[in-house]
Amino acid sequence: MEEIFSFAQPPTIQPIDSVIARQAGVDLSVLRLDVMHPSVNGNKWFKLKYNLLEARQKNFTTLLTFGGAYSNHIYATAAAGNLFGFRTIGVIRGEEHLPLNPTLSFAVQQGMQIIYIDRHKYRQRYTAELQAELKERFGEVFIIPEGGGNLNGVRGCIEILSGDEEFWKRQFDTVCVACGTGSTLAGIVLSLQPGQRVIGFPALKNGEFLAGEIESFLKNYRASGVPTTKNAIASWELICNYHMGGYAKVNDELLLFAQQFTQEHSIPLDYVYTAKMFYGVMDLLKQGFFPPSTRLLLIHTGGLQGNLGRE
């Protein structure tokens, strides 16, 4: 399966010619993970890789995972399962709404079996009780947590930058990434050096709690004995005030920003994650948050399928 994963296009680094960045004296670029594959792209490519490899090694034929009705992770897992020959089951939070939205109808087209559980039960998704119930209903299934947020996911995200020659050649010193579970940020932090800085932008309200989750990912990953590229890691922080009202909430300012950014730089942004992070970075540039001469790389983590549900 390693070979199959290598069929993806390598991500590209796109320099951004922006007046705001120029005025701040900052060199700005975007790492385009969104262009790697039509349906398994962005951080999902990296988060699913070691989950699927472990499932294959352990002879599982079915993947079961969780998500909301617009989840990028559900979309990508359905597509990856289809590509790599796994049966897939998506456990969706909430009730069924017909006709299916574009995310779920794509998942079903890819062969995913969708089931719905109410919000109360969904909160118990990681309890032994519910997992046993799911296994009884579906047989031996390889369970991937919501968002691919486990140590396999972190392991994959270490590869986002560690193997990218262009990244090291261009000597970026600051990396910005949108956060949901924080596992992508944890992988990036584990792959960089102490002089480098990673800034996470939670896409949800009160995202401060993610700091504890990220600490746990880092601690558990180090304790797991799975190889990391570096012994010392980059410094990291969260900037929590660009959630625009909460998870998946948008306002006119954000929509206008995303449209203008796409027009000027030919980079489409998803409204749930990357648009908020890019908006935050542009705002911080205006405030002089980044010291002049910063070499700043924004990670485009994909998620563009989610925009279809808004159109």
Residues annotated catalytic, as ranges: 71
Binding ligand PLP (rule: CB under 6 A), the pick from 90, 145, 147, 207 is 147
Backbone φ, ψ for residue 32 (5° rounding) = -90, 80
24 vs 298 by CB, closer to ligand PLP = 298
Q: Is 67 in the site for ligand PLP (CB under 6 A)?
A: no
Considering only the stretches 6-14, 16-24, 158-166, 174-182, report the one whose residues sit in contact with ligand PLP under the rule CB under 6 A: 174-182
Q: Which amino acid is at 48?
A: L
Of positions 145, 180, 207, 280, contacts ligand PLP by CB under 6 A: 180
31 touches ligand PLP (CB under 6 A): no
CB of 51 or CB of 181, closer to ligand PLP:
181
Q: Is the bond preceding 291 in cis, omega lying within 30 degrees of 0? A: no
Placement of tokens 């399962």 in the chain: 81
- Mark 32-59 as b/e (b = at least 16 C-beta within 10 Å): bbbbbbebbbbbbbbbbbbbbbebeeee
How many C-beta neighbours within 10 Å does residue 310 have? 13
- Bridge partners (DSSP) listed for residue 298: 30, 176
Closest Cα to residue 246, out of 200, 299, 207, 300? 207
Q: Give the separation between CA 248 and CA 271, rounded to whole angstroms.
A: 7
State yes or no: residue 161 binds ligand PLP (CB under 6 A): no
Which residue intervals of the chain are DSSP H helices? 2-5, 19-24, 43-57, 72-84, 102-109, 119-122, 128-138, 151-162, 165-169, 183-191, 210-224, 252-265, 274-286
Distance of alpha carbon 67 from alpha carbon 305, whole angstroms: 15
* Member of 51, 181, 196, 294 binding ligand PLP (CB under 6 A): 181
Cβ pair 55, 142 in contact under 8 A: yes
Closer to ligand PLP at the Cβ: 24 or 183?
183
**Measured between alpha carbons, how far is 255 from 79 in angstroms, rounded to an integer?**
28
Q: How far is the CB of 278 from ligand PLP (least distance, A)?
A: 11
- The count of chain residues that interact with ligand PLP, using the rule CB under 6 A, is 19
Nearest distance from C-beta of residue 300 to ligand PLP, angstroms:
8
Nearest CA to 282 out of 256, 307, 302, 303 is that of: 256
Q: Does 66 help bind ligand PLP (rule: CB under 6 A)?
A: no
Binding segment for ligand PLP (CB under 6 A), chosen from 78-86, 176-184, 234-242, 251-259, is 176-184
Nearer to ligand PLP, 24 or 302 (CB): 302
In angstroms, what is the minimal distance from the CB of 34 to ligand PLP?
8
Segment interacting with ligand PLP, rule: CB under 6 A, options 12-20, 59-67, 181-189, 230-238:
181-189
Give 35 or 133: the residue with its C-beta nearer to ligand PLP. Answer: 35
Residue 65 found at the interface with ligand PLP (CB under 6 A): no
Size (the chain), residues: 311
Mark residues 190-209: x for contact with ligand PLP by CB under 6 A, - for none.
--------------------
Q: Which residues make up the interface to ligand PLP (CB under 6 A)?
A: 42-43, 72-73, 147, 149, 178-185, 270, 273, 301-303
